[in-house]
Amino acid sequence: MKILKLTFICLLAIGLISCKKESKKASINADSLTAKKDSVVAPEIYKEYYGIYMGDFAGKEMITPEIGEEYEGEVYKKIALKINRITKDSVYGQSIVDGNQRPFRGIFNEASKSFILDEPGNDKTDGRFEVKLNNDSLTGKWNAFNKTAVKAPSKTLKLIRKEFVYNPNFMLSPDNDLIDWENPKNFVEKYTDEHTGNTETYTASKNRVASDAVFKINASTQKLTEKDLKNLRKLDMEIIKNAVFARHGYSFKKATYRNFFEQTDWYIPVSNNVDNDLTPLEKENVTLLNRFIKYAEDKYDSFGR
């Protein structure tokens, strides 16, 4: 009787071990199938169309001038469309405008050489691009999904393909406008009539203005010292610092900096974070510039638009 009982226990143990092995084997096989299925990636096609297309993004908006009545006019912005991947069924990429980077997905029609590209739709600025490819240019239109949430729900695009290149020697040109139009400040000033001697006060709107130091100081190529910075205006140092990020393709959310660097033919926004791309020299200079910017003063002047 004892022998039969012992035999039964051994058979039961063997059965349990066998079940565990089969279960483990089944699990491994299932995992292998899943991994194999997940690893299947649709082949890429039309790689010659990959790249960055930049240019004008124009739409009609209501414009409020400093003097006069509000009117409807054409407003131009800069936009970049990045085509990252094309497969038989899908196109993947991103749009960058006003420093806002949005992914898109769509389709490509080889016969008509046209793209239909949809942004996710979970942001009020999202919409659909319908653009046609002609050699190195993309032209077409964009329509907002939520037409009441944006000033110009329909816009046109005229883009040219560009290649992003980091060059530490890129600088603003002496032909560039050095006025910060985005942050005017009101000043109370006095006027004395030379004939009557009467003095009146009035409010004048002035804008920050940079000096030509921004054409001479390059924080990507030269080691800056306190002596180099101590007499600079605050806007000078902001431009010198942000030129470092512009050279690496940083997408500026602040219109002040976008306006300066969009005047150049080399600035191409490609990323909203380029911190890891900065060289040791650039990081050191940016740290020094930040110290001085904190306590620097601005130079304001009156300008007409």
* CB within 8 Å of 21: residues ≥ 6 apart: none
Res. 50: pLDDT tops 60: yes
Confidence (pLDDT) at 42: 87
Q: Work out the average pLDDT over 22-49.
A: 59
Q: Alpha carbon 208 to chain centroid distance?
A: 24
Burial track 85-104 (b if 16+ CB lie within 10 A, e otherwise): bbeeeebbbbbbbbeebbeb
Confidence (pLDDT) at 15: 52
Q: Where are the domains of the chain?
A: 47-162, 179-301
Q: Is 179 helix (H, G, I), strand (E, B) or coil?
A: strand
Say how many C-beta atoms besides its own lie within 10 A of residue 157's C-beta. 21
Residue 270 near residue 80 (C-beta atoms within 8 A): yes
Say how many C-beta atoms besides its own lie within 10 A of residue 189's C-beta. 12
Each residue of 229-241: pLDDT tens digit?
Answer: 999 999 999 999 9
For residue 199, the cross-strand partners are 192
For residue 58, the cross-strand partners are 76, 156
Res. 23: pLDDT tops 70: no
Question: What is the amino acid identity at position 1?
Answer: M
Question: How many percent of the chain have pLDDT more than 70?
Answer: 86
DSSP letter string over 188-247?
EEEEE-TTT--EEEEEEEEEEE--GGGGT--TTTS---HHHHTT--HHHHHHHHHHHHHH
Confidence (pLDDT) at 52: 97
Tell me which of 261 and 68 has the higher pLDDT. 261
Q: Of 26-30, 106-110, 129-133, 210-214, where does mean pLDDT reach its minimum? A: 26-30
Classify domain 47-162 at the CATH superfamily level.
Calycin beta-barrel core domain (2.40.128.20)
- Number of residues in the chain: 305
DSSP letter string over 30-54?
HHHHHHHHHT--PPP--GGG-EEEE
Confidence (pLDDT) at 304: 54
Q: For the CA atoms of 69, 70, 74, 78, what is the dihedral angle to 10 degrees?
A: 120
- Banded model confidence at residue 189, pLDDT cuts 50, 70, 90: confident
5 CB-side CA count, 13 A: 2
Q: Indicate if the alpha-carbon torsion angle 66, 68, 69, 75 is positive or negative.
A: negative
Measure the CA angle with vertex 127, ends 125 and 132; round to 5°.
135
Q: Which residue has the tokens 């035999």?
A: 7
Confidence (pLDDT) at 280: 98
CA–CA separation, 89 and 83 (whole Å): 14
Q: Indicate if the alpha-carbon torsion angle 56, 57, 61, 63 is positive or negative.
A: negative
What's the predicted TM-score (pTM) here?
A: 0.79
